[in-house]
Amino acid sequence: MIPSAPGAGPAGEPLPAAVRTALSEPTAARVADLWRELGLDDATLHDEDAQRGLRDALADRAGEEWRRACARVRRLLDTPPHVALVRAAGPPSPPVLAALSVCLGRLEDPYRRSWSRVMQEIVVDPGSDDALAWHVDSPGWPRTNDLTCLLCVTPAAAGGRTEILPWTAIARELRSAAELRAELAARKIPWVLDEALGSRVVHQPVIGPEGLRFMRGSLERAAAAHPRDAPWITSLCRRFAEVAERARPYLSHRLEEGEILVFDNHRCLHRRGPVHTAEGAGEGAGESADRLLIRTRIGRPAWRRSVAAPFADDSGGRRHRSDAAYSPEGRKE
Ligand SMILES: [Fe+2]
């Protein structure tokens, strides 16, 4: 059994002001109007042409503030800690989430079933503690999503902080564990894909050329499905979880109503703290399901990212002259 590492330890650092972006009410309203005008909903948004149509309409008509905000979010995602927080004025807006998502890349849905959603409601699942330990999203997909966006519709009454651990902090911690790092990059885990994707197996390391792939529950499934490999999978996972547990700094933020948190799912691990109702906070109170987020998972970023492949170097994103299509301005590393 791979040990649990819940996010209830010492608090991380608050999100720096530099990663926050505000959108005014007229811009948010313009985005929502476009969404309505194009007749979009979750079902229509599965279609790539519809996503492109929305992206084009936004570029033409959402205005300068929108354009600047999207450019800023892209720039933040390219720069450690690879996190951006957007707050649009007004009530929580799924159209703004969808619009921001299509401006960052393609909304992914590998299931292609009537039940699957590109804008997925996330409630607390008391039956699973995967979200409480450091992980990346979609380890059951053939290729994990590049970016994750979370819109907070209903904040937790208490607890439920979202925590982000950037690769730069993990890499620093691994400097004194060269053998482990080499093993994490070389040993290919036989990941078992989601049942709805045929439970196929893909072989990938925890630290791959594109980024991180890690979730305790998925590693336990891989170990159970491959008993001969179970000892090394379990050992590798435990040692990596210990490294992640020690790595500093990590960020910690309790999402407020209407906030959209975006992070790089290949260059960060994330987890949430336990969620409680106002009455139920405290030890032994158990988790409540009153927190509601809407999540999009994004692949194929729509811009040419200005940093090197995540793990080409340990500087956390040394810029390559040959890859300078996107010119950073303002925030410097
Ligand atoms: Fe997650």
Coil, helix or strand at residue 153:
strand
CATH number for position 65: 3.60.130.10
Q: How far is the CA of 268 from the centre of ligand 1 (A)?
A: 11
Q: How far is the CA of 98 from the centre of ligand 1 (A)?
A: 18
Looking at the domain assignment, is residue 67 inside a domain?
yes
Q: How far is the CA of 6 from the centre of ligand 1 (A)?
A: 13
- Helix 48-61 crosses helix 94-104 at what angle (to 10 degrees)? 100
Looking at the domain assignment, is residue 2 inside a domain?
no
Looking at the domain assignment, is residue 256 inside a domain?
yes
Give the tokens for residue 81. Answer: 């800690």
Looking at the domain assignment, is residue 4 inside a domain?
no
Q: How far is the CA of 31 from the centre of ligand 1 (A)?
A: 27
Looking at the domain assignment, is residue 11 inside a domain?
no
Q: How far is the CA of 257 from the centre of ligand 1 (A)?
A: 18
CB neighbour class for 131 (10 Å; exposed up to 12, middle 13-18, buried from 19): buried
Which ranges of the chain would DSSP assign to H, the alpha helix? 25-37, 42-45, 48-61, 64-77, 94-104, 167-174, 178-186, 216-225, 230-246
Looking at the domain assignment, is residue 6 inside a domain?
no
pLDDT at site 252:
96
Give the tokens for residue 253. Answer: 């933020």
Q: How far is the CA of 52 from the centre of ligand 1 (A)?
A: 26
Looking at the domain assignment, is residue 154 inside a domain?
yes
pLDDT at site 27:
97
Q: How far is the CA of 137 from the centre of ligand 1 (A)?
A: 5
pLDDT at site 139:
96
pLDDT at site 97:
98
pLDDT at site 277:
59
| Strands of 170-316, DSSP E | 189-192, 201-204, 251-253, 259-264, 268-272, 275-276, 292-299
Q: How far is the CA of 237 from the centre of ligand 1 (A)?
A: 17
pLDDT at site 280:
52
Tell me how many domains the chain contains: 1
Give the tokens for residue 7. Answer: 């996010």
Decide if 50 contacts 287 (C-beta within 8 A): no
Domain of residue 223, residue span: 17-317
Q: Which residues of 283-322 are buried (b: 16+ CB within 10 A; e: fewer)?
A: eeeebbebbbbbbbbbbebbbebbbeebbeeeebbebeee
Q: How far is the CA of 182 from the centre of ligand 1 (A)?
A: 26
Give the tokens for residue 249. Answer: 């700094």
**What parts of the chain have a pLDDT lower than 50?**
1-9, 281-285, 315-333
Rounded CA separation 90/257 (Å): 10
User: Can you give the pTM of this predicted structure?
Assistant: 0.89
Strands 259-264 and 83-88 turn out to be: antiparallel
What distance separates the 2 farthest-apart alpha carbons in the chain?
59
DSSP 322: G
Q: How far is the CA of 130 from the centre of ligand 1 (A)?
A: 8
Q: How far is the CA of 180 from the centre of ligand 1 (A)?
A: 25
Residues found in the chain: 333
Q: How far is the CA of 101 from the centre of ligand 1 (A)?
A: 17
Looking at the domain assignment, is residue 167 inside a domain?
yes
pLDDT at site 65:
98
Q: How far is the CA of 236 from the centre of ligand 1 (A)?
A: 21
Q: How far is Cα of residue 221 from the mean position of the Cα atoms in its chain?
A: 22
Nearest one of 142, 143, 155, 34 to 98, comparing CA atoms: 34
Q: How far is the CA of 56 from the centre of ligand 1 (A)?
A: 29
Q: Which residues neighbour 100 within 8 Å (Cβ) at sequence distance 6 or greater?
A: 70, 73, 86, 149, 260, 262
Q: How far is the CA of 206 from the centre of ligand 1 (A)?
A: 16
